[in-house]
Amino acid sequence: MDLNWLCMQSTLKQELLAKIASTEDENLLLLLNEEYDYFSQKSQAIRVIDTLSAEQLAELTSLVNEPFGHETESYADFKNATARWRTK
């Protein structure tokens, strides 16, 4: 094993532990605990879409399947709009 990697991990752990120890914000600690529990579940594959409701999944699917670029401005239109904005 690389000694630098082990030292870096040890330093990171120490930094995190110091930050946690000095934190008085209970909400921050609760959030940190929830996130740690969620991401440390090594036995389960983490799939965010499994936690979505049917409504959220339908919205996500429609966004993914939406054609790209149909709401974008051309560069020329952007330049014209910017020039008009700068003269105001």
**Hunting for tokens 């054609």 — which residue is that?**
67
What is the value of pTM for the model shown?
A: 0.41
Instruction: State residue 51's pLDDT score.
Output: 82
Residue 68 Ramachandran class (φ > 0 left, ψ -120 to 50 alpha, else beta): beta
CA separation (Å) from 27 to 17, 18, 34, 51, 71? 17, 17, 11, 22, 39
For residue 71, the 8-state DSSP code is T
Compute the chain's Rg from CA coordinates. Answer: 23
Instruction: State residue 32's pLDDT score.
Output: 93
Inter-residue contact 29 to 20 (CB < 8 Å): yes
pLDDT single digits (tens) 17-65: 999 999 999 999 999 998 888 778 765 666 778 788 999 999 999 888 8
List the chain domain ranges.
3-65
Alpha carbon distance 24, 27 (integer Å): 9
Instruction: State residue 63's pLDDT score.
Output: 86
